[in-house]
Structure 1
C-alpha cells in the first residue's frame, strides 16, 4: 500500500481532470476516481481522503461527499498531494526465484506497484528491492534495476537487473522481443476457438484517456496469442494462457476484452460483466478483488553467460481459489427412466429435500400454451392445424394422434421441441449455479445425446419392474396400455438406458423404499462431487507445476 511516511520534503501537487460519461450515471464520486486512478497506484481510501479535504470539484464546485452520485456529463477535477525525495528501503518480504548477482527473477504479489511515481511514492516493489539488493541504489533514481513492469494488480514473474550493464542489455532484449512471456488469465465466458491470435493495434482510448484501447488509427502494433486451458461447466469463465509478442500497456486486458472476454475482476475493461456478476454471482464477484492475471512463464538469454534461462511460477492463492469456486458449479444431474417408471415420484422426493428440480414434461406443457415458444414454432410450421379453438393452446391430444400416425411428423415435432427443452434446462442449471446439484427430468435425454454432448454431469436412471410399470403405475397415471406402448416405442429400451447411467434408483417396492433409494443416490452424487474436486485440484497442480509431475 502506498503511503507518505518515509518522505520529508518536496511536496508535489497532483491534478486530474476528467469528463463523466453518461455510462457513469449513478456512480459514486470516490468509486469513479478510484477506478480512474487505479493504475497509478492510488487507493480508493486515499481518494476519499482527498474528496473530504475539499480537493474534488464537480462542474467547478467543490464537493466533499465521497458518496456523491454522478449524473453523467459532468466536468470533474481532483487534486492530490504526494511527496518525492530519495528512496527509503522497506524491510518487507520479497520472493526471489533466481539470483546470480547479476540478474534476479522475482515473484511479484498482486497489489504491489512495480516502481514509485508521484501518485505512489512508497510501498512499491523497488522499495523492497533496494533493501534486498542495496547495490542497485547507484542505478536509475526511481526505477533501479527495472527492465519491464507488471500492472499493480498483476501477479507473477518479473526480471530485475542488479547492475547498469545488465539492465541495458535486458532492456534491449525486451525491446527487441527476444524475451518470451506467457501469462495465465481467467476471463469471462468461453472463447469460441480454443486457440486464437489477436493482432490489433493499440493506443489511448479516444474518449477515456486513462484507458487503452484497440484503435483504427494512430495505434502501435500489438500481438497476442491465447489458448483455452479450461472452462467451467456453467460457461461463466475460462482459464486461458496468453503469450504476448509486444509489450503494450494493458495489452492482455485490452485484447481479451476486445474479443468479448475481458478478465475476471477487471473493473476498467470488464466493468459490465463484473457488474452482472455482482448481481447474479455475488460469491464469485467477492473473490475477484483484482484482475485475474498472472505472469506465469519467462524465458530469456542471460546477458553475460548467454545461458538460456526459463522460469515458471504457479499463480497465487486468490487465483487458484477463483478457479476452484468456478469448478464447484452446480452438479448437473439428468433423471431418466421408462414411461410410468416413477420419475415424477422421485422429483417430488427431491423437491421435498430442497433440491432444485426440473420437469421436461412441464416445460413442454408451458411451451404449448398460447404465445409460448413451442406454440409459436408449431404455428409457423403447421398453421392452425393443432390449435385448440377454445383455449388457443396446442391441442396435445390431436397432436399425439397425428404423431402416432405419421413418423416423419413425429420426428419434425421432436426437432422443434427438443431445442426448446434443452434451452430451458440450460437456463435451469444457470439459475441454480450456486447450488451443489440440480436435477432435470428429461425422458429423451439419452436419445438426444445430451450425455455425449456433456450437457449433464451425471445421469441417474430409475429401474422399475415391468409388471409394476405397466400395471400399478400406469393405472395411477391414467394411461391405457396402447398409449404406453407407443411411448415405449419412441424411446430406447430400459436396459440400453440403464447401461448409460451413472447410478440407478431401484423402484421395486413402496414409496418408503423409493425415498431410501433416492437418498442413497444423493450420497453417490456427493461422492462424485468430492472426487471431482480432488481431481480438479490435481489437474491444477500438474498444469501449474509441470516439472513436479
Structure 2
C-alpha cells in the first residue's frame, strides 16, 4: 500500500475525516479492538503500517447524543441478492448514509427497512452505516455493493481497500477530451483553500489514478460521453480528475463553476437538462465475500442522464441553400419563412456588416484607409465592387475578411434556433467556402433554374446588367458542379406558387432527415450499454441489471 509507515490512527483519521468521525472516536474504536490489520485485531493507534497490508475498521455503538439509523419506507432496487450481500441501485439525489448535516432519509434508512437483517441490532454492524463498504456522492447514480453481515462487510471492505474490485463510471463532460483515452495519475487531497472540496495536490496528496475513454462527442464538440475506470477510490475522484484535465462534468457546480454557469445561460432547452453532476456508476465487479467468485452487474444510466445525452444531438437540422446568382434562392428562402421556419440570409448579413457601425465596415476602413468608406462610416459598395472586379487579390482579401464574420453570424443563428427541427441559411458561396465539408451545415439544398429564365426574366427583376451577372457567375462554381454537391434540388422553372410547393417538399425532406437522425442516435444509445458491458466483462453480453435493458 502507498501509506506504508503511516500510523494506524492517523490513517483512519484521514480516511474518515470526510464522514464527520473525530480522531478521538477513532482512537476509542482502535483501543476497543475494532481495527483489523490483515484480519487480526490491532489495538494500538501508533502501530506503523507495512507495505501490502489490508486494513479494516468497524464502528462501536452510538455515542451519547448519536442514534442508530432508523428504517424508512422506500423502494430500493436490488440487482443482486443473497444472504451475504446485495448490489443495489442508488438513485441520484440520495445520500449514502447519515452524517452531520445529512440526517436523512438516506440509502441506509431505506436499506434497513427493506432488509432488516442489515440493521445494527441484527448484524452488529455500525449503527449509522450498516452494510456500507463504499460510497457514491449524493447526486451520483448507479450500482453499490452492500454487506448484509459483519463478516461480509469485513471481506468486502478488504476487497475495496485492496483494489480487488473493478468499477467503471459513465460521465458527461464539457468539451472533447484529447487524447480520446488516457490515464490521469494525479494525487489528491483536501483543497487547502476550501476544506469541503477535494483537489489535485502537487505535494502531500494521496495516490489517485483514473483511466478514461471517450465513447462519443456531441455536435461541434459541445460535450462528450466518457467511460472512466477508477483504480483508487478517493472522494470525488472522477469529478476532480476530469476537471483537472479541463473537462469538468456537466452539472458540476463545485468543480466546474465557470462551465456550469455558462451552461445555465444557454438559450436552449439543454440549459435545464443538467441539474446534477452527470455521473453514473455503470459497471461493478466485486469478489463475493464468502466464495470469492466475481459478482458482476451493469446498469444503464437513469432517464435524466439519457435525456441529456439524447438532447446533445437533438438539435436543429442545419440546411444550407445554394444556387446560381439570380436563380431564386431568396424567393425560396421567403417561402420557407412563410412556413414559419427560421431563416438566415448571407446577403442580409453582409448588408449589416457593411452598414455604418458594422464590423465589416470597420475592418475595410482599417485595411484600405477609408478608400471604400462613405461619410457615414458605411462601405462604398459600388466602389468596393469595382475594385473586386478589377483585382483578384482585392476580391480574395475582402472575401477572407467578410466570410468568417458571415460564418460566425450563421453559426450563432443556428445556435439560437437549436431547439427547432430545421433551420435554413441561404449562403451563395457555401460550396466554394467548403461549409458543406467542415460541418457548418448538415444538408445542402440547391435551386435549379433554367438559364434563359435566370439570365432573362429574373435578371431584369433584380435590375442586374448581363455584365454584372456574368461577374457574379465567374466567382462561383458552375451550376452543374453546384447541383452535383447538393443533397436536395428544388426546381425554379415555373412560378412562385410552384416554388412554394418546392419549399414545402424541401421542408418535409429536412424534417424526415431530422427525425431519422434522432431515431438512429436513440438506437445507437440503446445498443451502447450492453455492448460496453460485454466489452468490460470480456465475455458474451453481461447480464443486464434491472433497468439496464432501457
Do the structures match in fold with TM over 0.5?
yes
Corresponding residue number in structure 1 for 2:418? 433
Q: Could you say which residue in structure 1 is the equivalent of 2:146?
A: 160
Query: How do 1:39-188 residues align onto structure 2 when only pairs under 5 Å count?
Result: 84-137=66-119, 138=123, 139-188=125-174
Change in 2 beyond 3 A, CA 1:179/1:344:
same
Q: Tell me whether 419-428 or 364-373 shows the greater mean CA deviation.
A: 364-373
Q: Is the partner of 2:518 in helix, strand or coil?
A: helix
* CA distances 1:29-54 after superposition (whole Å, capped 9, x unpaired): xxxxxxxxxx99xxxxxxxxxxxxxx
- 1:299–1:309: 8 Å Cα contact kept in structure 2? yes
Any unmatched runs of 5+ in structure 1?
1-38, 41-81
Task: State the Cα distance separating 1:202 from its structure 2 match.
Answer: 2.6
- Alpha-carbon distance between aligned partners in 1 of 2:386 and 2:162, rounded to the nearest angstrom: 74
SS of structure 2 residue aligned to 1:159: strand
Distance (Å, rounded) in 2 between the aligned partners of 1:150 and 1:321: 22
CA distance in 1, matches of 2:316, 2:357: 31
Measured after TM superposition, the shift of residue 149 of structure 1 is: 0.5
Aligned partner of 2:232 in structure 1 is 246
- Whether the 8 Å CA contact 2:324–2:479 is kept in 1: the answer is yes
1:339-358 to 2 correspondences below 5 Å: 339-358=325-344
Deviates more, 1:277-286 or 1:146-155: 277-286
Counterpart contact for 1:185–1:292, Cα < 8 Å: yes
- Residue 255 (structure 1) shift: 2.6
Task: Give runs of aligned pairs for residues 489-508 of structure 1, distance below 5 A.
Answer: 489-508=474-493
Q: Residue 318 of structure 1 aligns with which residue?
A: 304
Residue 439 of structure 2 corresponds to 454
| Distance (whole Å) between structure 1 residues aligned to residue 203 and residue 376 of structure 2 | 60
How many angstroms apart in 1 are the aligned matches of 2:374 and 2:468? 25
Call closer, same or farther: CA 1:192–1:407 in 2, change over 3 Å: farther
SS of aligned partner of 1:388: coil
Deviates more, 1:206-215 or 1:108-117: 206-215
1:52 is matched with none
Pairing 1:523–2:508 present: yes
Deviations 1:482-540 (A, max 9, x none): 22222222222222222222222211111111111111211111111211221111011
Pairing partner for 2:448 from 463, 466, 473: 463
Post-superposition CA distance 1:289-340 (Å, at most 9, x none): 3222111112344454343443221001111122223322222221111111
The corresponding residue for 1:544 is 529
Supply the distance in 2 between the matched residues of 1:225 and 1:404 (Cα, whole angstroms).
58
1:513 and 2:495 aligned: no
Q: Counterpart in 2 of 1:16?
A: none
**CA drift at 1:117:** 2.1
Structure 1 position 105, deviation (Å): 1.6
Partner residue of 1:261? 247
* CA distance in structure 1 between the partners assigned to 2:485 and 2:189 by the alignment: 54
Structure 1 residue 286 and structure 2 residue 272: aligned?
yes
Question: Does 2:473 align with 1:488?
Answer: yes
**CA 1:403–1:240 in 2, change beyond 3 Å: closer, same or farther?**
same
Show the counterpart of 2:59.
Answer: none
Q: Indicate if the aligned counterparts of 1:227 and 1:242 stay in contact, CA closer than 8 A.
A: yes
Secondary structure of the equivalent of 2:219?
A: coil
Whole-Å Cα distance in 1 between the matches of residues 354 and 231 of structure 2? 54
Cα displacement (A) at 1:376: 4.5
Query: 1:242/1:371 Cα in 2 relative to 1: closer, same or farther (>3 Å)?
Result: farther
Gaps of 5+ in 2: 1-18, 21-63, 532-540
Counterpart contact for 2:268–2:419, Cα < 8 Å? no
What is the deviation of 1:150? 0.3
Cα distance change on mapping 1:308 and 1:406 into 2, 3 Å:
farther
Q: Distance in 2 between matches of 1:211 and 1:451?
A: 46
Q: In 1, are the aligned partners of 2:361 and 2:373 still within 8 Å (CA)?
A: no
In structure 2, what is the Cα distance between the partners aligned to 1:417 and 1:447?
14
Residue 469 of structure 1: how far off its partner (Å): 1.1
- Partner-residue secondary structure (3-state), 1:339: coil
> Post-superposition shift, 1:154?
0.7
Q: Tell me which structure has the larger Cα radius of gyration.
A: 2
Q: Does 1:419 align with 2:404?
A: yes
**SS of equivalent to 1:433:** coil
CA distance in 2, matches of 1:191, 1:430: 22
Of 464-473 and 93-102, deviating more is 93-102
The answer (yes or no) to whether the contact 1:337–1:497 under 8 Å persists in 2 is yes
- State TM-score, norm by structure 1: 0.78
CA distance in 2, matches of 1:185, 1:532: 23
8 Å contact from structure 1 (residues 234, 433) kept in 2 = no
- For 1:48, the equivalent position in structure 2 comes to none
CA displacement at 1:114 relative to structure 2: 1.1
CA distance in 2, matches of 1:282, 1:488: 39
Q: Deviations over 1:386-418 (max 9, x none)?
A: 423544444333333333344344334333332
TM-score of the two chains, using structure 2 as the length reference: 0.78
RMSD of aligned alpha carbons: 2.9
CA distance in 2, matches of 1:539, 1:405: 54
Q: Number of residues paired by the alignment?
A: 470
Distance 1:183 1:220 in 2: 21
- 1:396 is aligned to 381
Out of 392, 410, 413, the residue aligned to residue 407 of structure 1 is 392
